[in-house]
Structure formats: C-alpha cells, structure tokens
Structure 1
C-alpha cells in the first residue's frame, strides 16, 4: 500500500517539479531541454536492447566513463543508453556517446513515466551508479524481467537511517535489485541492512581513472610560471567560500586557485571574491597562461587534472561543511596532496586510506585547513613525499572497473 501512496504524492507534485526545472534553467539552460523526457514521453522510436546506465550527476557520469571504457574494450559493439538527472551530468555524458548509443533524462519516479521510459527504450539490462534506487523504477524493472544492478554502490550511515525510517518503501526497492556491487565492506553491510542483495565488494571505480596527460602537462607548465606557491580550493560548495576568503587574507604571498563544484555558481563565486577585496582572473579568460591576480577562478568543466597539476596542495571542497566531501581520489592520482575538513562521509574509506598513506591531512575547519595547506606548499620535501604517497595510494586500489565490467557482462549473457 505504501508505494501507491508514494506515487500519488509524486504525481501531485509534478507542477512543483516543472517549476523547479524552470528556476534551475535560468542558470543552467540544459534543464529546459527535453523536458517531456522527465515524464516518460519521447519524440521518436528507437531500437531496443541497449545496456542502460544511469549516472545522475557529474561525479557518477565520470565514474560511468571509466566503466564504459572497460566494457567497450570487451564488447566493441555494445550499444549504450545513458540517463541522467542533472544538466552537468548530461553534458558530460554527451561526450561518451558513440554511434548507436542513446541519451535521455531518467523520468521522475511515477508509474506512468517509468512505464513510458521502459516501453520506449526496452533496455536489455540496467546499471544504476552509486546511490540511485527508486521504488517504482526497481519494481517495474523486476516485473518486466529487466536485470537491474547497483554499481559502485555506497550507502552512508545517514542514508541508512533514512532508509530505516522509510523501510516499507525503501526495503522493497533495494530488494528488487538483481545485484549490488559495493565500494567497501562497510557499504556492503549497510546496503544489506537496507534490504539489498550484495554480490560483491569491488572497490571504487574512481581509482581506475587515468588523469589526462595533456592536462597534466599544461597544468605543470603553468605552475612553473608562478613564483608563489599555488593552493587550490577544489570543488568548493555553497557556504564554504566565505570562510575560505576570510582565511586566505592572511596569506597574500600565496597564489590562490578557487574551483567551484557547480558551474551555475561560477559568476556568483567570482563576484564574492571581488566583494571580499581580491583581484580575480578567470580560466575562461586565460590565454597562453593564467593572468596575474590574487585569486584564480577555475570556471571550466572537465579540466580538474589540469587544475590539480597547477596546484601544489588542494583543499577538499564539501568537507568544510556537512556535505560529505568531494572526490579526493582524482587529486591523489594527479600527485596533488589534499587537506580535508571533518566531513568526508561520501568518501569515508578513501579519506581514511589516504590519511594512512600520507597523501592527505585532516583538519577541524577551513582556517586551520588554509594554514596547513600553506605550510605544506612551502615545505618542498614534505610536499614531494605527500605527492608520491598520493600516486601510490591511487594506484594500489585500482581494479574495480574490470571487476564491475565482468559482472555486468555476465549479467547481460544470462
């Protein structure tokens, strides 16, 4: 009885959802494109039988890209359906498409929209990335015999508590999955408690990312032009920049690089930096090298490897507010030591492993983080040691992509 009630609530909320899309579309026009797909309506017929991969946002899409590379090596003729929930995820996913592939929004989780999606695409199997488990979606796939797995799966203590409170809805949703491949043993235990059938602990796909060599070279070339140490605030989130700007005022001899997590905030963050009294140079206006300014703003997508190579040390965005932290694995793979705040529950095991490996430092808040990052950037011996530790740490934990791809191919063959 609980799922029909949930469906009624979602159907009643559809006008609010449309309004939300219009508001978000002001800053990100991608949200105003293909709106009917959100409701399970698609404009033209398409061939059935693709492997469907759902990557809700930018981070999940980058993880899916790693997995796709291994899948395509094994099955070059594999046709893919990529679905997303955010504009940044869809824009990143567009670059992964090949002839015969398709891309769409995953519809909102009403019975009618889910039926429209499955009727239109008729996928051979589905892979949900990391956390995206929806009650109607999983139930309808189960009813139609479409194998559905959760890959690179993670579940925090907070999310498990929420799942317990809504167990009459969440437990059947997790139970309808054919397989769950967890990132870590603690994730596996929490997912099993939520009702999932965990069939493997394969590690984190993000360890298998290979930094773009051209970006690394460009970043290192640009780093050589700065006589000052370069410290980056990587993937900063709303509410974190104000404290950062207060703290960096005490260190005018450092070159600061600020890279906001979300592109719709680029202009807002740049204005905030100017209001704080700093000069600004934005990546989008750089020519052959960064222009002189107190703060560089990284206002581009898909260039994190370049930014990590440009920086001596990175402060980890999302970890100085209770947001769970962003991906620190990419920084380690690029040889950029990380200073992180207290909130890293999205990457709990990776954070602890990086600390143990000497690739990262933990601090209590942003003021201490800025001070520790500056001290490390000025200590060349300690900096080189931490950078090498990060590269070793990232290399030692690879292999999740191959294990996950093998499991997907076995699922397809069945």
Structure 2
C-alpha cells in the first residue's frame, strides 16, 4: 500500500538522518537522558533472549502509561498463564519502574528510535504475536513495520487532546493510514472517540479510561511501617508529581502552613526522581531542612520536608496523607496528572487550573465537589488547611467521582484483545 506524502517524507527523512541517530543518543547519555548500558536497545538490538512461545508486546511512552500496562499484563496472564510479555517504553524513569514492577514472565526493553533500520532489527528479533499500544505515542515506522509483518495491533486507552486532534485533522491522510494499522481502537473518553471517528469516518468505541479500572498498588506493610512512624504525629500533606517551577510555589505554600502549624510536614514527590539533586538544592536555598528518601533518610521532628526522590513509591506517600496536591497543573503545557490513585489511597485531591490531559476525569471530580482548584501558594495553603480541618474536598466525594467514571473499560478491552490473540478477530 502506497504511503501518503506526509508519511513518505517522514520515512525518507528518518532514513537519511539515520547516521545522526547514534551520536545523538550518546549526546543524550551525557545529558543523563539515556542509559549508557542500554543504548543498543534504542538501536533495535535486544539485550535479552526472546522467550519461546507466544509473546504479547505492550508499548507506552513513559510512567503515565505504566499502570495501564501492568493491569493488562495481569489480566492477560490470568487468561493464559503461558503468555510472555515484552514491554517497551522510552524513558529512564519508566524503565526503572518497569524493571521493579513487572512479573517474571515480562521483559522490559527500550523502544527503538523510529529509524527504519532500528525498527527492522527490533521487529525481526522479537516477532511478537500481538502489539498493544497504550494511549497516544504512535511511531510511524514502528506501526507500519508491524503491520507489514502481519502483527495484529490494538490501540487501547486512546487519549488525545484538542490540539492533537487538530494536528491529525490537518494531515488527515497520514493519520488515517497510521490508525488503519490497528485492528481495534478503544477510546478512553468521548472526546477522543468522537475525534478519531471523525478522522477515520468510522465509529471508534468509547470504552472508558483503563486508569480508572486499574487496581491500586497494594501497600507493602513492611515498607509502610517506617513511613507511618515518621509521620503519625505530624500534619502531613503530599505534593505529588511536581514539575520545575511548581516546587517553588509548593514550598511557598508550605512556609505559610508552617507559620500556623509548626509540625507541618510536606512530602515532596517530583514527577521525575532524577531531579532530586536540583530539588534538594532548592530546599537548601530556602533554608528548609529536609530528609531525602533516596539517601535512606527519614525526617526527624524538626525537619519540615521529606523529599521523596524515588521510584515506584507513590502509593506509600499518598496512603500517608489526608491531602494531595497533584502537580503538572500550575502551568499550561503539561496538562495535569491523574488524581485517581490519590482517591484510591484515601487522600483528598487538590490541583491547579491546567488539567487538559485529564479534563474528563476532573469534570467528574468537579461534578462531585471532589477537587479543589488552586493557582498560587495562598490557595494551596488554604486548601490543605481546610482538608486538615475536615472541610473542603473529601475522599468520599472522590470515590463517588471514580465510581461515576468507571465504565468497565478493562472488561471491554480484554473482550477485544482475546480474539486478536487467538486469530479470530471479526
């Protein structure tokens, strides 16, 4: 099948620019953006042996898709314990998380750079029986190469904001060609379902958000006990998944809380733990004594901040607090982060004004008065104080919002994936 002009140009450009990929990767290694020991994976070379038998390949961009991937691995394993899994992501943070969280029958590899040569290496070696892409990271050469090899593909939990939709509509022929690589697409929300249906001129079902159906990570009692010991006598709040620029506002809010509640403890959880040194320097510049989780430290009674610069422990932090500020939301451009895990951990939700990536989720929260919107340090401090005093957003309202959002997304997705694995897709 011939390619539309946009995709033909992309393929030519990624082929001709191929010699630049290797030095570019090494430049990223120097900047701490790539794992020097796993560069081969980014060039399509496997560092692990492909297991015998059927192999399901799941791909997600980064940490945000990890809970969906883990939920699907568990559900597919329950269906068929003999299945093996290949999980690909593109960031060091997600790789570290997957290496820790995946079960023994699953392998993590970095997704190859979308250069035709690298894609061929990757697909020819792994030869997956099914490919499942999560949400919205769609690499043209990777999709086209998989389709060419007859690998059935599904796009699950598809989520696209209005800006992405406009971009796709402006190059509709290329968008249609890529989306037609998928045998099945399930949209996470109605906006995405409507937008993809308009692009394809075919119905794309709205099955619901898999992140809502994802089970909350269990709290490890052994890991949780020292956290409770360090926080039980304090007024605690968590600033979760913060980004550069937000930390300063959060710390200003904490200063205001300390002025009225001297035992206040902020658990500050940067979205990317590799920012730990920079955030620690910021705390020192503000003369805020702190303990660093990455150094094995726990706050004493005099330290007002616990810097949680580690991976895979968000559930522990959220379970230790009545109030959670969800970052990525104080400035335009990131789109916020998912509040559901906070609700599942019995923490009331506070967030900023910019949550476009989760507008369907926050609409349900607002309908239940389950979230407090804030835009500055004063409002954050007021919202945290209200929750400490049993006012403002409540966990019960959050649970009602999550219940309203639940639509059986996992069961509908599994219903679509099963026949793709057995080759009986109709």
Is TM (by shorter chain) over 0.5?
yes
> Normalised by the size of structure 1, how large is the TM-score?
0.90
C-alpha contact (below 8 Å) 1:152/1:182 kept by paired residues: yes
Match of 1:361 among 368, 372, 394: 372
Which residue matches 2:129? 124
C-alpha contact (below 8 Å) 2:53/2:83 kept by paired residues: no
Change (3 A) 1:317 1:14: farther
CA distance in 1 between partners of 2:236 and 2:134 (Å):
34
Where does structure 2 lack aligned partners over 5 or more consecutive residues? none
CA-CA distance at 1:48 after TM superposition: 6.3
C-alpha contact (below 8 Å) 1:50/1:79 kept by paired residues: yes
Cα distance per residue 1:279-324 (max 9 Å; x no partner)? 1112234567766412221111111111112222111110111110
Cα distance per residue 1:136-160 (max 9 Å; x no partner)? 2222222222111111110100111
C-alpha contact (below 8 Å) 2:344/2:399 kept by paired residues: yes
1:387 aligned to 2:395? Answer: yes
CA distance in 2 between partners of 1:39 and 1:352 (Å):
41
CA distance in 2 between partners of 1:30 and 1:291 (Å):
38
C-alpha contact (below 8 Å) 2:348/2:387 kept by paired residues: no
CA-CA distance at 1:188 after TM superposition: 0.7
Match of 1:230 among 231, 236, 242: 236
1:315 aligned to 2:325? Answer: yes
Give runs of aligned pairs for residues 234-313 of structure 1, distance below 5 A.
Answer: 234-252=240-258, 253=261, 254-286=264-296, 292-313=302-323
Which residue matches 2:107? 102
CA distance in 2 between partners of 1:222 and 1:28 (Å):
35
1:60 aligned to 2:48? Answer: no
CA distance in 1 between partners of 2:347 and 2:321 (Å):
7
C-alpha contact (below 8 Å) 2:238/2:323 kept by paired residues: yes
Cα distance per residue 1:235-272 (max 9 Å; x no partner)? 00122212332343322223222110001101111111
CA-CA distance at 1:117 after TM superposition: 1.6
Change (3 A) 1:256 1:17: farther
C-alpha contact (below 8 Å) 2:299/2:306 kept by paired residues: no
Range with greater deviation from structure 2 (161-170 or 400-409):
161-170
Change (3 A) 1:190 1:249: same
CA distance in 2 between partners of 1:179 and 1:290 (Å):
53
C-alpha contact (below 8 Å) 2:353/2:373 kept by paired residues: yes
Change (3 A) 1:295 1:102: closer
CA distance in 2 between partners of 1:217 and 1:198 (Å):
46
C-alpha contact (below 8 Å) 2:293/2:309 kept by paired residues: yes
Which residue matches 1:409? 418
1:8 aligned to 2:12? Answer: yes
Aligned length: 410
Cα distance per residue 1:87-139 (max 9 Å; x no partner)? 12222222354555433222122222222222111111100011121222222
Where does structure 1 lack aligned partners over 5 or more consecutive residues? none
CA distance in 2 between partners of 1:2 and 1:274 (Å):
50
CA distance in 1 between partners of 2:377 and 2:48 (Å):
54
Give runs of aligned pairs for residues 25-36 of structure 1, distance below 5 A.
Answer: 25-26=29-30, 28=32, 31-36=35-40
> Normalised by the size of structure 2, how large is the TM-score?
0.87
Cα distance per residue 1:10-54 (max 9 Å; x no partner)? 244446544554354356586223212222233676346411111
Which residue matches 2:228? 221
1:184 aligned to 2:189? Answer: yes
Match of 1:335 among 346, 352, 373: 346
Cα distance per residue 1:149-175 (max 9 Å; x no partner)? 111110100111222334343331122
CA distance in 1 between partners of 2:74 and 2:107 (Å):
16
C-alpha contact (below 8 Å) 1:230/1:377 kept by paired residues: no
Aligned-partner SS, 1:200: coil
CA distance in 2 between partners of 1:49 and 1:231 (Å):
45
CA-CA distance at 1:403 after TM superposition: 2.4
C-alpha contact (below 8 Å) 2:119/2:145 kept by paired residues: yes
CA distance in 2 between partners of 1:153 and 1:134 (Å):
14
Which residue matches 1:324? 335
Which residue matches 1:149? 154
